[in-house]
Amino acid sequence: MIHHLADHESPAVDAYLNSALGLEIPELEAGREHAHNAGLPHIEISTAQGKFLQLLIEISASTRVLEIGTLGGYSTSWLARGVGASGTVISCEVEPLHASVARENLQRAGLSDRVEIRLGDAVGTLDSLIDSRTTPFDLIFIDADKRNNVAYLQRALKLSRPGTVLVVDNVIRAGKILDDPSQHGLQEADIRGTQEALLWLRDSKQVSATALQTVGSKGWDGFALARVL
């Protein structure tokens, strides 16, 4: 029997997929719970999205990954699983508590040796990486304060090579990207930043990009995916 969308709630479908595909990693789920207990916001990616990132890294044979926005290290852990034991993840985080919890979670998951968390303003961290002429990254995951998305993309491009994969999370925002950002009060800057990021991806001659909507345990949202030319 084919069910209509209204027959079931999308979080329940996510839970079924996690179970049917065996997606949950006990150490990573324990880390998620630890982050929540430490008072971190419940805004990390879903389990299925984490596995998607891991697969994207593996499919693109990426071994050097940059993350902008560590939070409690849940997404970082999936990125680290993707790069493998010989790979490297550099993750930028501005909040000391978040970075501390993330380091604990990475230690629990046995992934600390392949992850470096850089504490501080992400724009400053990215500028330092650019100034040091660091080796280009194979994949860059942008999931921090949305108001700075364009600044992050501009710097990500300087830290890329032809073929680098760019992933920008939370670009649908329950459809609010269709609205005048000024209608949404405290969310205005993030919605405006998201809209500007999509336009930047459209107008840049150095990337080829698309965006997909997602629905599930994280609600209605989506991500942009781009390849550096």
| Residues with Cβ within 8 Å of residue 61, at least 6 apart in sequence | 138
Would you say 85 and 115 are in contact if contact means Cβ atoms under 8 Å apart? Answer: no
- Cα 170 from chain centroid (whole Å): 9
Cβ atoms of 168 and 214 closer than 8 Å: no
- Going by the DSSP 8-state scheme, the letter that residue 7 receives in this structure is G
Residue with tokens 């501009």: 154
CATH 3.40.50.150 for domain 8-228:
yes
* Percent of residues, the chain, with pLDDT higher than 90: 96
The sign one gets for the Cα dihedral 115, 110, 217, 10 is: positive
* pLDDT above 60 (res 2): no
Q: Kindly calculate the radius of gyration of the chain based on its CA atoms and give it in whole angstroms.
A: 17
Confidence of residue 186 (pLDDT cuts 50, 70, 90): confident
Q: Does the pLDDT at position 225 exceed 60?
A: yes
Instruction: Name residue, tokens 């073929």.
Output: 163
What b/e sequence results for 140-149 when a residue is b if at least 16 CB atoms lie within 10 Å of its CB, and e otherwise?
A: bbbbbebbbb
Say if CB 151 and CB 125 are below 8 A apart: no
Residue 66 CA to its chain's centroid (Å): 10
Reported confidence tier of residue 6, pLDDT bands at 50, 70, 90: low
pTM of the model: 0.95
The helix (H) or strand (E) run that includes residue 81 is helix 74-83
Per-domain residue ranges for the chain? 8-228
Sheet of 219-228: strand order equals 115-119, 88-93, 64-68, 139-142, 165-169, 219-228, 207-216
Give 83-138 pLDDT, tens digit per residue: 999 999 999 999 999 999 999 999 999 999 999 999 999 999 999 999 999 999 99
In one-letter notation, the amino acid at residue 57 is I
Q: Which pLDDT score, from 0 to 100, does residue 1 have?
A: 44
